[in-house]
Structure 1
Amino acid sequence: MISSLRGRLFIGLTATIVLTGAIGAIFTYAWAFDEAIEIQDSALIQIASLAQSGSLSVNPPVREIEENAQVQLIELGRTAGVAPDQRQLFELKDGLHVASLEGHEVRVLVGTRSDGSRYAAAQPASVRDDTAEDMAARALLPIIALIPCLLIVTGLVITRSLRPLTQMAGNLDARRADDLHPLPAIDAPTELYSFIASINGLLTRIRLLLDQQRRFIADAAHELRTPITALSLQAENLDAVELPEGARGRVAALRQGMQRTRHLLDQLLALARYEAKPIASEMPQVSLDQTAKEVAADLLSQAADRGIDLGFEIVEPVVVRGEPTILAILIRNLLDNAVRHTPHGGRIDVGVFREDDWAVLQIEDSGPGIPAADLERIFEPFYRGSRPQGEGAGLGLSIVKRIADSLRGEVSLENMTGHDRSGVRAVVRLPLSRALDQPSIIEQPTPSPDPCFRSAS
């Protein structure tokens, strides 16, 4: 069964056109055939009238009047003493008849002159039928040519009529997952108004549901931070208390669990704040390089505690559209992820530069890398990989992905394989802001006075 509306309309209209054309062709053929017979009868009547008035002489007694139509004018005389094959013609009354002449069926018009002599205009029936069939077939040519033309026009009309529906589907497919603005009804066919209204109603209900979900996440995370912070302080106070060795291990495990919970709450709050922000085109302009420097400076002490060399390889001035807080969350999550997975004495290289029409943030670490099986799912919420480490909740990279998508950018992770370096390379590409006059070509990166900038080595 055909499920396409376009296919159903085309097949239904095609069947209607073909059936109507076939019925019309049958009636047209019959009408044209009868008309052709009547025309040939009229020709016999005209020839007979000329013979009646003496305008046509019958000498010899049988004269070919029209070679192609094979019309003969036959002189029958005044008595019945005519040739045997003409006897039956002499015996016919004046008028049109169907008779037999020389073994062939003919259409004949018999007439009598004022002097009593008789004549006949005859034409073979087979010739008449062939001529009538040919004329009837010619009458069908316009109908035969019209049917495919109508099918083409029908297809074009159906395609054009359904184009608003196709465009609407394309616009919906091109939307971001979090774009729940109502569909515009301007220029849409009136038949689609109820359909558009139903979709807009559904989008409104989904938006309200998502807003409730965001508020719940934000409120729950905010309310949970207070007791978690209090518990953390109480656990830290236990450091001054003399405890058995086994109890100290359990307290350390408790502190680690609360630290992980606090980190999860921070990520949930960051996610709730991000989802409440406007879309990229409505965001202000932000210096990506400056934001990256500020975030890296905040993490310098954490990296130093782990013996990690954190610094910039290249810094170029680039401006993008986005909320400073959102961009800081994106960069912090990537750097925090690199710090947590880089072993003691490792290295993290950060680069901010321009590539064609993109602002690029690149972070390379010297960690163990990501298993190939985890790369496809690494951006899924709460997915920590096949070998989770540290206190991460599996939300950091998911938030990075969603922020990059909302800013019409892209993010990718890949394992670096080489003789001198291994680890993970995270690359974020964001569209450059066109509102500011940025240099089209930067020949050399300008060293930054920031202490975390290092010369390329």
Structure 2
Amino acid sequence: MIGGLLGYHWAFSEAIEMQDSVLIQIAGLVQGGSLTGGRALHGVDLDAEVWLIDQATAPQASEDDARLWSLKDGLALAVRNGQPIRVLLRTRADGARFAVAQRTSVRDEIASDMAFRTVLPIAALIPCLLLVTAIVIARSLRPMVHLAGDLDGRRADDMTLLPTAQMPSELHPFIASINGLLQRMRLLMDQQRRFVAEAAHELRTPITALSLQAENLAAVDLPSSARDRVGSLRQGIGRTRHLLEQLLALARQDAGQADAVAMPVVRLDDVAKEVVAGLLPEAASRGIDLGFVLVEPAVVRSEAVMPAALLRNLLDNALRFTSQGGRIDAWVYRDGDAAILQIEDSGPGVAPEEIGRIFEPFFRGQHQEGDGVGLGLSIVKRIVDRLGGSVEVANMTEGGRTGLRVLVKLPAATA
């Protein structure tokens, strides 16, 4: 905008100077005797007339003419017949004076037209320049956009280095810095996984020994107060043992790097039947109706322990939050290219503000029931991610029911 205004002003000034040069050239011809005074000279444009006025033949009656001839030789602004003019006064060798004049309005119109024609191509070129600049910037930033898409589409634990091939050399230092950060993060994650796995493994032996001693105390004749304390001790040991088992399971899932395509084929319906059968005694002891609503053949690619651990943690979570006399329903079926595992319970559900955090490790929410440590659903999410599936959690509201619905979708395989 500023450049256009400056260009217009410069072109306007140049046009005015050019018209002054025309007046000077005409005055030179008159002074040399090539032209005689007292007539109007027309160029290509009839409106751009120039008057040649000779003082000897011009009338002197008007005040405008008197003021005009009182001016000194040279270029000046004056008024003649009520119109502003640009005038050049000269004196011949014999002392006679003449004037070459042009209306100011005509000069400004010519100068404005010339300035506009000068700026018009630049104004038309600006959108083209903006378009070319946008294309160049978009092509230059396209590799950066691809890198950002690669990073956004990765799993949280994918620390694969970014490629530098076919990338502009200007991006190599940036990619090298990102790769260095990924390597440091992978090292920290490996150290954390090893620490958790080793600590949990080392603690299993003393916890098992404590559990055995607590079980032995149950057979000893103890006062009622001591039995209550032994019961509390056994509950604490059981919770600790459960925590260690979950930590070991989480460490195994974090350490597993097998490709889902290379995994063996597992029948999800058979695994679900085995897990539900194993939990039926616990459900029956608490008066909970645990069973299948639908079981259809469904095959996935996975290690055998992975879908079993997934379903066991889902059902364990449902049993923990379902009160006595409640109900837990399970579905296993095939839907297009997906194998579906669905669990519904009649518990209190999850608070809306917490439903987005239930897959975080050690998050237990407002309803903290049983000896859970907040790792079950986190392990479920890790297993589902490794198998290339998805998991959705929602509170049930239809038909006046309450409870939690968990829907797991896994890529189906051919049997």
Give the equivalent residue in structure 1 for 2:211. 232
Give the equivalent residue in structure 2 for 1:267. 246
Percent sequence identity over matched residues? 47
Give the equivalent residue in structure 1 for 2:221. 242
- The Cα shift of 1:201 comes to 0.7
Does the alignment pair 1:30 with 2:13? Answer: yes
- The Cα shift of 1:390 comes to 2.2
Give the equivalent residue in structure 2 for 1:393. 373
Q: Which of 185, 198, 207 matches 1:206?
A: 185
- The Cα shift of 1:183 comes to 2.2
TM-score in terms of structure 1 length: 0.72
Q: 2:78 and 2:290 mapped to 1: Cα distance?
A: 116
Does the alignment pair 1:124 with 2:131? Answer: no
Alpha carbons of structure 1 residues 302 and 280: separation in structure 2 relative to 1, 3 Å: farther
On the 8 A contact 2:75/2:86 being kept in 1, the answer is no
- In structure 2, the gaps of 5 or more residues are none
Give the equivalent residue in structure 2 for 1:353. 333
The equivalences for 1:60-75 within 5 A come to 62-66=38-42, 67-72=46-51
Does the alignment pair 1:217 with 2:196? Answer: yes
CA deviations 1:165-199 (Å, max 9, x no partner) are 34433433333222222222334333322122112
Q: Which amino acid aligns with 1:317?
A: P
TM-score in terms of structure 2 length: 0.78
Q: Which amino acid aligns with 1:311?
A: G
Q: Which amino acid aligns with 2:298?
A: V
- In structure 1, the gaps of 5 or more residues are 1-17, 438-457
Q: Which of 386, 395, 400 matches 1:414?
A: 395
Q: 1:279 and 1:22 mapped to 2: Cα distance?
A: 67
Give the equivalent residue in structure 2 for 1:134. 112
Q: 1:264 and 1:172 mapped to 2: Cα distance?
A: 33
On the 8 A contact 2:394/2:405 being kept in 1, the answer is yes
Q: 2:283 and 2:190 mapped to 1: Cα distance?
A: 37
On the 8 A contact 1:364/1:423 being kept in 2, the answer is no
CA deviations 1:386-423 (Å, max 9, x no partner) are 3433222221122223333443402314246646xx55
Does the alignment pair 1:179 with 2:158? Answer: yes
Does the alignment pair 1:370 with 2:349? Answer: yes
CA deviations 1:321-359 (Å, max 9, x no partner) are 443322221101111223344455554322112345532
On the 8 A contact 1:30/1:136 being kept in 2, the answer is no
- The Cα shift of 1:101 comes to 9.5
Q: 2:247 and 2:391 mapped to 1: Cα distance?
A: 22
Alpha carbons of structure 1 residues 52 and 361: separation in structure 2 relative to 1, 3 Å: same
Q: 1:341 and 1:101 mapped to 2: Cα distance?
A: 101
On the 8 A contact 1:320/1:359 being kept in 2, the answer is yes
On the 8 A contact 1:286/1:322 being kept in 2, the answer is yes
CA deviations 1:269-328 (Å, max 9, x no partner) are 110011112376555244322322232233234334445443222112223344332222
Q: Which amino acid aligns with 2:252?
A: R
Q: Which amino acid aligns with 1:129?
A: R
Alpha carbons of structure 1 residues 34 and 75: separation in structure 2 relative to 1, 3 Å: closer
Q: 1:39 and 1:70 mapped to 2: Cα distance?
A: 11
Give the equivalent residue in structure 2 for 1:453. none
Give the equivalent residue in structure 2 for 1:251. 230
SS where residue 403 of structure 2 aligns?
strand
Q: 2:3 and 2:224 mapped to 1: Cα distance?
A: 97
On the 8 A contact 1:106/1:123 being kept in 2, the answer is yes
Q: Which of 428, 432, 440 matches 2:411?
A: 432
Q: 1:100 and 1:144 mapped to 2: Cα distance?
A: 36
On the 8 A contact 2:328/2:345 being kept in 1, the answer is yes
On the 8 A contact 1:375/1:413 being kept in 2, the answer is no
Q: Which amino acid aligns with 1:35?
A: M
Q: 1:29 and 1:81 mapped to 2: Cα distance?
A: 35
Aligned residues: 400
Alpha carbons of structure 1 residues 42 and 162: separation in structure 2 relative to 1, 3 Å: farther
CA deviations 1:70-119 (Å, max 9, x no partner) are 2346689xxx68865899999xxxx998798967653478999xxx9x99
On the 8 A contact 2:27/2:100 being kept in 1, the answer is yes
